[in-house]
Amino acid sequence: MKTFLEPPKLTNSKIPSPKACLIANALILPGSGSLMRRRREGYFQVTVGALGLVITGFATAGLLQFLGNMNFDPSDPDGAATFIHQAGPALIWVGSGLALFGFAWVWSLLSSAAIYREDRQARELPGDLNCC
């Protein structure tokens, strides 16, 4: 029985190169290269990476709006502490979004390494065993 998470099998002529998958994972969106090779974890990598980007974007927009409306008095000795106290939640959200995106990015790079390893092993197999 086939499920929606089970990708179709690729023929040798349609398999993207490991280098293309690495470039897609590293520079486009985490998980995009994994999806090119029909790896299931690519769905989760794309989801986590995109969620991290969205959280970072909204939190950065909120932080910039806060900074635009802020009246900072340089002569106030507690000014830095007040700023950290007021901007802290937005900074935490920015950091959380960046952490999510970073996690997905590292995960996709590890998937790229696995793709390289699988490709090398497939090229080392003799004759008819190199079918998939």
Tens of pLDDT, residues 32-46: 989 988 888 999 999
Closest CA to 120 of 14, 13, 4, 19: 19
- What's residue 11's pLDDT? 58
Say yes or no to pLDDT of 97 above 70.
Answer: yes
Say yes or no to pLDDT of 59 above 90.
Answer: yes
Question: What is the Cα–Cα distance from 38 to 65, expressed in whole angstroms?
Answer: 41
User: Could you tell me the pTM of the whole model?
Assistant: 0.74
pLDDT mean across residues, the chain: 83
- Burial bucket for residue 42 (CB in 10 Å: 0-12, 13-18, 19+): buried
Say yes or no to pLDDT of 114 above 80.
Answer: yes
